Amino acid sequence: MKAIQFHRYGPADVLRWEEAPDPQPGRGEVRVRVHAAALNPKDVLVRKGKLRVFTGRRFPQRSGYDLAGEVDALGPGVRSLRMGEEVFAMIQSWRAGACAELAIVPEGELAPKPRSISMTDAAGIPLAALTALQALRDLARVRRGERVVINGASGGVGVFAVQIAKLLGAHTVAVCSAKNAEHVSRLGADEVVPYDERALEAEPGPFDVIFDVFGSAPHRKVKHLLGPRGRYVTTIPSPGHVFRDLTTRWTKRPARLVVVRSRRRDLEQLARWVDAGELAPVTDRVWPMADAAEAHAYIETKRARGKVVLEVG
């Protein structure tokens, strides 16, 4: 098979679409013939070596955590899936490997693909939508009628966060650039704050939840906007956010760090929403797998509106 690999940490041009051994599924694992794989900021951080404490120094390393494809082989003990079934998944571990013709995924980390959309669109769902769902439902505990700010509403996680907040019954305030305001409104945002025209921290609060997807609204800058029981959630694993997550999680105004988990039941919920027409994936650009370096460079501009996807074949 072929896979995206890199033999050292570095810029986007270290990525290679090259021959690699066919992986074999172990107990409880599924081999997926990949049709499409989505990119995330995590892929860039791993490639640069920013997370080498987790990924180590052994090369070559594989790339990619999100995929959609069909079941190609079943390891011993797998009972919930059948050969040829269309699936989508987020690979939980640091081993990565979604950007390949074949990928190994534990049975509990994949689910049947939404029937109503393409493989390309399905590949862009898992990590971003799971992050939004688990941040808003589990950490922020969003309730009907609450005012919820989504900072970075037009990006990969943000487009799902706007829609999921609405599905949870919230009044959604989306922060994005002025050029993306109309797009975010179509996704269901009740209000839009164009950050290039006015600052979020100057907005009239209070808000019940602030979800900082983009990283430009740290807790210290926006905590004054939260109500007496306001909750703050971020995707940015800075030392300060880790400390606040540990020390405030049981308080009336917690500041939490979302660490996404690949859960089959959550993937199934996302698929139900998609097939019901209640949740729409947003695919910004699509590249062939061989052009992964170009796609990585685009991700690094932080201008993607929705997801960036690589296709096999």
Beta-carbon count within 10 A of 290 CB: 16
Please give the full DSSP string across 21-51, using - where no structure is assigned.
PPP---TTEEEEEEEEEEE-HHHHHHHHTTT
| 16-19 β-sheet, strand order | 16-19, 2-6, 61-62
* Boundary (domain end) residue, out of 257, 272, 301: 257
Q: Determine the structural domain holding residue 40 and report its residue range.
A: 2-125+281-311
pLDDT tens per residue, range 30-51: 999 999 999 999 999 999 999 9
pLDDT tens per residue, range 224-259? 999 999 999 999 888 888 889 989 999 889 999 999
User: 212: Cβ–Cβ under 8 A, 6 or more apart, which residues?
Assistant: 151, 152, 218, 219, 222, 232, 233, 234, 235, 236
d(C-alpha 124, C-alpha 112), whole Å: 14
**Residue 117, in any domain of the structure:** yes
> What CATH number is given to the structural domain containing 107?
3.90.180.10
Is the same domain home to 137 and 193? Answer: yes
The reply to whether 114 and 201 lie within a common domain is no
Same domain, 157 and 48: no
Q: Which residue has the tokens 């990928």?
A: 103
| 25 shares its domain with 138 | no
Residue type, 131: T
Q: What pLDDT sits at residue 303? A: 85
pLDDT of res. 177: 95
Q: Is residue 266 part of a domain?
A: no
CATH at residue 225: 3.40.50.720
Residues 45 and 140 both lie in one domain: no
169 and 85 inside one domain: no
Q: Are residues 114 and 138 in the same domain?
A: no
Token readout for 43 is 């892929």
**In a domain? residue 268:** no
Tell me, yes or no, whether 30 and 7 share the same domain. yes
- Looking at the domain assignment, is residue 263 inside a domain? no
Within-domain flag for 274: no
Q: Which amino acid is at 93?
A: S
Question: What is the structure's pLDDT at 240?
Answer: 85
Q: How many domains does the chain have?
A: 2
253 lies in the same domain as 307:
no
pTM here is: 0.96
Q: What is the pLDDT of residue 62?
A: 97
Residue 132 and residue 111 in one domain:
no
Query: Is 94 within a domain?
Result: yes
Cα Rg of the chain, angstroms = 19
| 94 in the same domain as 40 | yes
pLDDT at 243: 87
pLDDT attached to residue 302: 84
Residue ranges, the chain, pLDDT below 70: none
The answer to whether position 35 is within a domain reads yes
Q: Are residues 148 and 252 in the same domain?
A: yes
Examine residue 265 and state whether it is found in any structural domain, yes or no: no
Extract the tokens encoding 282. Answer: 């947003």
